A and B are shown apart, each in its own frame.
Chain A
Amino acid sequence: MSTTRRQFLQGAVASGAALSLGTAPAVQARPNLTLPPKAVGLLYDSTLCIGCKACVSACKESNNLPPEFSTAENLWDTPQDLSGRTKNIIKAYKEGNATQKDREVDGHAFIKHSCLHCVDPSCVSACPVSAMKKDPVTGIVTYDEKDCIGCRYCVVACPFGIPRFEYDKAFPKIVKCELCNHLKPGDKFKYSACAQVCPTGATLYGPVDQLMQEAKRRVALKPGSITRIERGRVGSGDIYEAKLTAQYLPRVYGDRELGGTQVLKISAVPMEKLGMPELPERSFASVSETLQHDLYGWLALPAVVLGGLVIAAKRTARPDDENEA
């Protein structure tokens, strides 16, 4: 069988269309998602944190999570990292002799690790079965094990390393902070347990816009100044006066990382030293979804390519099969 030029060109066009899948012109880029109207979150102030880990304990109580032992006596809940049993953890930074708090050199500092509730979360974009969802009103990133297939694309995708998986269970699930979204009236905790129990106001719960104002107010303060710090949640009225010793860095982590997060962090030690990654402003989810929409929007491109392929195959397949039959 010889190929005519015409037939070959038809094949070339069909396959060329298939091969150009990766270079299709952008129809319309999917921009970063924006903050939901009544977004809630946390403000974590590393300079106020005393590392008491009351928040770690309260989180376990509120979420009914078992203890994790890392000492020989197996007496104390001493998680070393986030895990299938721990949704919130306080870690310490140490350098040199570590004597002075909130100093990068010869100092130490604390950092809270828990879900940042991204404005445009990678985990939600990655999840093939809508088990990870972002609440359209509060912006809380929730997880429902009833929907989940356990593929762990969210675990790999999250640039903050937040979703964790129960590798030691026959019927495992993903574990991550949902900002105590499950609480009902009458429960012991009224809002995010970590914020409710924090004795210094290092973790503050509230509307994201107000948390952002407060974060910006604080990072502008000078060492030695006396300022009013609210504990628990914005508007709780539980206020005390604190004398600042640390020099804040002029940065609110989460104001633009991947298009922003609903958990904001401020500190006197650089965030990268505290284990927070440097990230671009454009969300990874928007990059990925723009590509997917270009290629598969309305299935237009696949339909055109399929048409070309079927026409080509109809011309070539029939004689072969007759020959075989």
Chain B
Amino acid sequence: MSSHAEKPAPLGGPLVTPLTVTLAGLAGIAAVILLIRFIFGIGSVTNINDGYSWGIWVVYDVMAGSAFACGGYAIALLVYIFNKGEYHPLVRPALLGSLFGYTLAGASVIFDLGRYWNTWHIFFPPWAQVNSVMFEVAVCITLYIGVMWIEFSPAFLERLGRSDLKKKLSNWMFVFIGLGVLLPSMHQSSLGSLLIVFGTQINPLWQTMMLPLIFLMTAITVGYAVVILESCLSASGFKRPFEADLISRLSLVMWWFLVIYLVMRTVDLAWRGAWAEAFEPNVMATSFWIEMAGFILPVILLASPAARRRPDRLLISAVALIVGTLMLRLNGFLIGYQTGAGWHYFPSLPELLVTIGIIAAEILGYIVLVRWLPILPKVEPVKIAR
């Protein structure tokens, strides 16, 4: 178990820095806009309309936001299911990112729900409508957020000095780890299935029965990308050594997932005869290629073992994958969606500021918690002075 020698420890350090103050400011602006939204209605701050009733508060905050929060899921899959123990140091930081991403994605749903005070109806008969893909998504995401807090609780219990409770919990942790892999598999695929009932309103580039698998595969690969990005950024931001061995091996796992994904996507488009749509002179085709570039670029950039050890290539690949994953969701739900002539949507400034505020809150929470709780692997002082 030598790979686990680096036990997680709080980073310490200042909580009030120019960065954290800026992030708190952005979150504050979002809070003010949301106050206006709750008093005067969603239309007072957003550009959503009856032709595009789902804007970026749904498609970014929930769809993309939860996919970007799949680091914990993707790493748990590797460590606990494929028994790759060497990635264990990545579990806690990845899980923290996921915890924040999902909790905020879940909470931000409330901002978008018109009749939010009825939200609880989803979980109870006679309201619960099990044929609805939305029902499945809502139940699974809610359960997963709960499971993640339980998975993460050892870090809190350590801080609170409750090792007795922690030990009890750890005896049953495998059940929650199992659920923590099952639930994201279910709802990340279902986020794709949401599109199926839209039928021919979705361009054939994105309307396929493979949607669940397409969304699931991209959620897992972007999970690895986010872990790689977090590792690159915390190496520079917190002045920690770059975990080159671990990250380069992880990037190979991601690389294979990507290759399988691209083969699947290509064959599916060919099978349905949808490739012609990709060469139409329109916005949808352009957007499709931006999406695809996000998945193809990392495959090229990370093809050799030497390339997978280069932080610049890893960083660019991770960002490309994040863009590709975001574009897939924007394309499926907004750019590739047409419900009739004459409808337009582009997010308003306040609408964008809310999304930015949520991202800021996420980063802020991450910084505060890694400084306060044992999350990142402890690093010997000697290593830091390089």
Contacts and interface: CB of A to CB of B under 8 A. Distances in A.
Contacts of B83: 1, 3, 7-8, 10-11, 312, 315-316
Interface stretch (B11-19, B177-185, B298-306): B177-185
B178 A151 contact: no
Interface string B76-99: 010111111110100000000000
Given A126-B132, A130-B129, A296-B136, A323 B1 contact: yes
A35 interface: no
Interface in B35-67: 38-44, 46, 48-51, 53-54
Interface string A246-289: 00000000000010000000000000000101111000110111
Given A11-B81, A156-B339, A291-B196, A18 B41 contact: no
B166 interface: yes
Interface stretch (B20-28, B117-125, B276-284, B310-318): B117-125
A23 interface: yes
A159 B80 contact: no
Nearest to B82: A11
B182 A18 contact: yes
Nearest to B2: A1
Contacts of A203: none
A170 B38 contact: yes
A74 to B, nearest CB: 20
Interface SS of chain B: helix
A129 B127 contact: yes
B50 A288 contact: no
A285 B133 CA distance: 10
Contacts of B112: 151
B114 interface: yes
A258 B154 CA distance: 52
Q: Which of B112, B185, B197, B210 has the most CB of A within 10 A?
A: B197
Contacts of A126: 132-134, 197
A88 to B, nearest CB: 15
Contacts of B213: 19, 21-23
A312 B121 CA distance: 35
A305 B53 contact: no
Contact of A292 (B42, B116, B136, B185): B136
B82 A125 contact: no
Size range of the interface on A? Answer: 35 or more
Nearest to A148: B115
Interface string B104-117: 00000000111110
Contacts of A172: 41-42, 114-115
A320 interface: yes
Interface stretch (B167-175, B230-238, B246-254, B360-368): B167-175
B345 to A, nearest CB: 11
A103 B211 CA distance: 42
Interface in A69-84: 82-83
Contacts of A277: 200, 340
B174 A314 contact: yes
Contact of B182 (A125, A278, A302, A317): A302
Contacts of B216: 19, 21-22
Given A129-B128, A161-B339, A317-B80, A284 B113 contact: no
A147 interface: yes
B212 interface: yes
B33 to A, nearest CB: 15
Given A316-B83, A320-B88, A324-B7, A279 B119 contact: no
A321 interface: yes
B340 A161 contact: yes
B126 interface: yes
B173 A317 contact: yes
B199 A152 contact: no
Contacts of B81: 11, 14-15, 309, 312-313, 316
A67 to B, nearest CB: 19
A175 to B, nearest CB: 10
A157 to B, nearest CB: 5
8 A-B pairs with the lowest CB-CB distances in the bound complex, closest first: A150-B114, A167-B43, A22-B213, A1-B85, A310-B178, A284-B199, A150-B115, A321-B170
22 contacts: A7-B83, A11-B82, A15-B81, A22-B213, A127-B134, A129-B127, A149-B118, A149-B122, A151-B114, A155-B53, A159-B200, A159-B201, A165-B114, A168-B40, A168-B44, A258-B199, A287-B199, A292-B130, A310-B177, A310-B178, A320-B1, A324-B4
Given A3-B85, A152-B114, A169-B41, 8 more contacts: A21-B212, A128-B122, A166-B41, A167-B49, A171-B115, A287-B209, A314-B174, A324-B170
